[in-house]
Amino acid sequence: MILGVSGWLSEKLGWNVTTIRILFVVGVLIFGVGLGLYLILWIVKMFSK
């Protein structure tokens, strides 16, 4: 997506980046938590360098 969280998370978990992006979209559309989770993970990514 925009902040690079999906690529970073795919490297950490060893998952396909497309799978992670789909999970974020499903999280936003169904549960409404995908965007908040994405922002939290972006903050974690920024401080983990």
What pLDDT was estimated at residue 34?
74
Nearest Cα residue to 27 out of 11, 45, 9, 44: 9
Strand (E) or helix (H) holding 46: helix 34-47
pLDDT 10s digits, 21-36: 898 888 888 888 877 8
- CB atoms under 10 Å from CB of 28, counted, come to 15
Domain boundaries, position 39: 5-47
Identity at 32, one-letter amino acid code: G
What pLDDT score does 1 carry? 58
How is residue 14 annotated by DSSP? T
The secondary structure of residue 28, as a DSSP letter, is: I
Total Cβ atoms within 10 A of residue 43: 11
Question: What's the number of domains the chain is made of?
Answer: 1
Query: Residue 30: what pLDDT?
Result: 86
Structure confidence by residue, pLDDT tens digits, 8-19: 999 999 999 999
